[in-house]
Amino acid sequence: MPVITEIEDLKRIYRRRVPKMFYDYCESGSWSEQTFRENSSDFDKIYLRQRVALDMANRSTKTKLIGQDVSMPVALAPVGLTGMQHFDGEIKAAKAAEKFGVPFCLSTMSICSIEDVASNTSKPFWMQVYTLKDDTFMQNLFDRAKAANCSAAVITVDLQLLGQRHKDLKNGLSAPPKLTPKSIANMMTKVQWGLGMLQTKRRFFGNIVGHAKGVSDASSLTTWTAESFDQSLDWDRIRQFRKMWDGPLIIKGIMDPRDALEALNVGADAIVVSNHGGRQLDGALSSIRALEPIIDAVGDKIEVHIDSGIRSGQDVLKATAMGAKGCWIGRAYVYGLGAMGEAGVTKALQVIHKELDMSMALCGHRNIQGVDRDILMVPKGFSGEWG
C-alpha cells in the first residue's frame, strides 16, 4: 500500500483508478458548485485553540450515536452508486465500518441490496430511504430494512426534485447510466476497476429492480425514477413514513431551524444538517455555517448530526466542538473505496481518527465527549447576521 497520510492521497489514487463518469458523480455539485466548494472551505475559516501543559494521556474518541456505541463520532453517509465505484462497494464499505466501530448507512440507490449487505455483515447498519410516492414500495423497503435488522432508518428530505449537476448530464450519468462511446473508452482504460466489476453479479440497483412495481430492466427503471420522487412532499407525508417505521429515525437534509423543529415534531430521534453535499440547492449556506442556529433552535431535545464537506479529523473535531453529536462522511470514504476497496475505506477511517485524536489532544482534551466551543476561534457573524 502506498503511504497515505491524508484523505487527499486517497483521492488522487481514486481519480486514477475509477472511470471518469463515476469520479465526476462523486466529485461534483449542482450548478456553479459554490455550495459544494464552501462546504469544505468554510471549515478552514474556523481556527483551533492550542493548549499546553495539560495531561493528554489515556485519550478516548468513543461516544454514542442514537444510543449506539461508536469508536468516534463519525458515520458513513448513504452514497448512491457506491457499487460502481468499486465492485461490491456497499458491502466492502459496510464491512470496513463494522470493523472500525462506526455506523454504515446504505442508500436506496445502492448497487448492492439491503439483503446483500446484511448477509455479509454481522452488526446492524442504517438504511436510508427517499420520500417516494409509492406507498407499497416504501412500506416494503422499511419492512426489508427491519428484516435485515437495520438499527435505524434515515429519511432524506431534500431530494423532492433533482438538482442539476452539469458533469453528470455531460457524462450521461443517470439511473441507469447512459453509456456513450467516450465513456466506454474511458472505462476500458481502468483495467483494475473493470476486472473487479467482471467478478460480481451486482451491477444494477439491488434495492429497486425486482422490488418496485414494473421495474425489471434499465428502461423501466428510468421511467420509475422519473415518476417516483414526490414533489408534493410535506410534513404530514413524513408523519406517514414515521408510522411505517417504528425504530430509531433520522431525518437528513435539514438546513433551517424551522425545519429542524418540524423534524422534532414528527418524532425523529436525530437530524442531519446537510445540503446533500452541495448537490441540490447551489448558493445555499455550507452545512457548518448552518449548524449552530439549528442546535440553538432544538437544544438537547433531539440529536443533531452534520454532513457535507467533512474531509479530515480536524473537520470532525470542529463540528463536534460546535455541538454536532455525529459527523457523516461520504466522499472521504468513497475516495478510499475507489482507490483500494475495503482497505481504502479502513485507511480513510484511520486517517480521520488519527487527525481527530491528535488535534483533540493538542487542544487540551482527552475525551471527545468533553470537547466544546471553547477550543474554537470562530469569525464573528460566521453563523448569522445576514442582511
> Cβ-count burial of 368 within 10 angstroms (0-12 exposed, 13-18 middle, 19+ buried)?
buried
Closest by CA position to 35, among listed 277, 381, 379, 332: 277
Largest CA-CA distance found in the chain, in angstroms, rounded: 66
Cell numbers representing residue 64 in the block: 454514542
- Positions of E strands within the chain: 47-48, 63-65, 68-70, 74-76, 105-106, 126-130, 152-156, 249-254, 270-273, 303-307, 326-329, 376-377
- 3-state class (DSSP) for residue 219: helix
Q: Catalytic: 86?
A: no
HSE-CB at 133 with a 13 A cutoff on CA atoms is 12
Cβ distance 218 to 176 under 8 Å?
Answer: yes
Residues in Cβ contact with 185 at an 8 Å cutoff, skipping those fewer than 6 apart: none
Cβ distance 89 to 120 under 8 Å?
Answer: no
Which H or E element spans position 240?
helix 235-244
Q: Pairing relation of β-strands 74-76 and 68-70?
A: unpaired
Closest by CA position to 76, among listed 142, 130, 128, 148: 128
Residue 360's identity, in one-letter code, is M
Catalytic residue from among 86, 276, 353, 365: 276
The set of catalytic residues is: 276
